[in-house]
Amino acid sequence: MRNPFRLIRVRLTLWHVLSLALLLAAFSGGVYFALHSALQDNLESGIESRSDVLVRLIQVENGLPALPLQLPPAASNGDDSDDELEEELDDEQLILIFDSSGALLLDTSDPDEKIPSLSAEIQPVIAGSRRWLSVSGDDDTFRVLAVPINRDGITIGALAVGESDEDIGDTLESLTNIIRVAFPVTILLAAVVGLLLAHRALAPIDRITRTARQLSAKDLSQRLDLDLPDDELGRLARTFDEMLERLETAFQRQRQFTSDASHELRTPLTIIKGQIEVTLSRPRDAVAYREVLGAIGEQSDRMIDLVNSLLLLARADAGQIPIQRDPVDVAAAVEIAIDELRLLAEEHDVRLSFDGQAATITADLTLFHQVLFNLLHNAIRHTPAGGSVQVNWSLGRGSLRLEVHDTGLGIAPEQLPRIFDRFYRVDVARARNEGGAGIGLAICRWIVEAHGGSISAESEVGAGSTFVVILPTG
Ligand code: ADP
């Protein structure tokens, strides 16, 4: 069985319950101590006011302090009745009067309480200082305020007024009982609710996991397609679907690339094999063999070019082609490319020309040369005899604009957007005879974009085409 503590929902709930328990404990403790101190203050202020009244009421009889028989209501700590002394003082209150030697003159406490003698504690009071005492009887503990009784500047005794703190104990005990029940019930409820909430919130993750498990590399067409709100999990599911989309496209492109490349290589290999078979079918003279070997050499060159291009694209895809950035003289680079293709242009009876201001850009010279070569090569091949190919360039704001213009066949508008795709050829039969595999422009696009530039084409069927390259100068 799976360890439940490895589930996020269980761990979340545990943390939630633990923090709630700590908070509740701190809160309960705070309430307990605040209530305790408020009740204690209340008790003491009641005792104090009663003591203040009593000490003023005390009369002197035979040189000794004594209480009048009847006490006014104030002495009963707010009680309205004006009954006799005994009724005023229930067994939770006590009044003690001492003479100046510390001998007990009056004790109103319940005899059953057996209040201990306070003679020793009362001595400092007779000496002039009031003090709080805690006195334990048999049943209750009393909070007692002892004050000196002064008449005409002389201390004639001491008065001790006390009240049992039983009520405080009872109130705090009730509170403790409430907390004792409420605490575990709250924690239990929090755990159940927390677990349910966590389960609900994390349910989409289970759905994502289940769907992801069903996906295989072969069938990347599946999507999660979860109808989730735009929250964290919704975004996760959508990001996952987008990633699948990209993976599917990349896989498809990869498959297409492999099949196109194999197809392109099969054509020259089939031609070579056919020529060899035909040639070997009967004896031939040296001239015939030379001719065939020449044709085979041509097909081999085509394959070498193709394999080099494929390799370049594969390495470009893998990010393995480092781009060396050096200052490149545009005019010089154009001139070199034109020189290389002059013979081909003469064969096609196509006029080559170039024009542009002095311009230097920072680029990889070899790759820039490849772009110029591919564009010029295409332009010459697709321009009928008597036509012309022209290269123009100018510097704009931080960029070079280079155009290769031809007066060739042009490209149909519906084909124009696809000519930069790999292995795309406008007229397959014609292009193959001319040696094109539909990779030249794909390579141009990769090179230009790798330099942070862009490439596009404008064309009119029958009038010619213009390929525009924009490259940043820096
Ligand atoms: P290829 O190596 O087969 O020429 P490219 O990628 O260079 O492949 O070009 C793709 C297609 O674009 C070609 O099949 C060709 O028909 C078309 N094309 C390229 N340049 C021109 C041009 N200057 N004029 C007319 N068509 C062109």
Tokens of 173: 């005990």
Q: Which atom of ligand 1 is nearest to the CA of 467?
A: 23
The pLDDT of residue 226: 79
Find out whether the beta carbon of 313 lies less than 6 Å from any atom of ligand 1.
no
Q: Which domains does the chain have, with CATH numbers?
A: 4-65+86-170 (3.30.450.20), 232-315 (1.10.287.130), 324-472 (3.30.565.10)
Which residues of the chain, if any, have pLDDT below 70?
A: 1-2, 69-91, 217-218, 428-435
The pLDDT of residue 316: 87
- Cα 439 to ligand 1 centroid, rounded to whole Å: 9
The pLDDT of residue 64: 84
Find out whether the beta carbon of 426 lies less than 6 Å from any atom of ligand 1.
yes
The pLDDT of residue 193: 94
- Cα 419 to ligand 1 centroid, rounded to whole Å: 7
Find out whether the beta carbon of 375 lies less than 6 Å from any atom of ligand 1.
no
Task: Print the SS3 string covering the chain.
Answer: CCCHHHCHHHHHHHHHHHHHHHHHHHHHHHHHHHHHHHHHHHHHHHHHHHHHHHHHHCEEECCEEECCCCCCHHHHCCCCCCCCHHHHCCCCEEEEEEECCCCEEEECCCHHHCCCCCHHHHHHHHCCCCEEEEEECCCCEEEEEEEEEEECCEEEEEEEEEEECHHHHHHHHHHHHHHHHHHHHHHHHHHHHHHHHHHHHHHHHHHHHHHHHHCCCCCCCCCCCCCCCCCHHHHHHHHHHHHHHHHHHHHHHHHHHHHHHHHHHHHHHHHHHHHHHHHHCCCCCHHHHHHHHHHHHHHHHHHHHHHHHHHHHHHHHCCCCCCCCEEEEHHHHHHHHHHHHHHHHHHCCCEEEEEECCCEEEECHHHHHHHHHHHHHHHHHCCCCCCEEEEEEEECCCEEEEEEEECCCCCCCCCHHHCCCCCCCCCHHHHHHCCCCCCHHHHHHHHHHHCCCEEEEEEECCCEEEEEEEEECC
The pLDDT of residue 93: 87
Going by alpha carbons, the residue nearest to atom 22 of ligand 1 is: 379
The pLDDT of residue 110: 81
Closest CA relative to residue 452, chosen from 404, 376, 400, 416: 400
Tens-digit pLDDT profile for residues 319-353: 888 899 999 999 999 999 999 999 999 999 999 99
Find out whether the beta carbon of 406 lies less than 6 Å from any atom of ligand 1.
yes
Find out whether the beta carbon of 379 lies less than 6 Å from any atom of ligand 1.
yes
The pLDDT of residue 282: 93
The pLDDT of residue 175: 96
Find out whether the beta carbon of 431 lies less than 6 Å from any atom of ligand 1.
yes
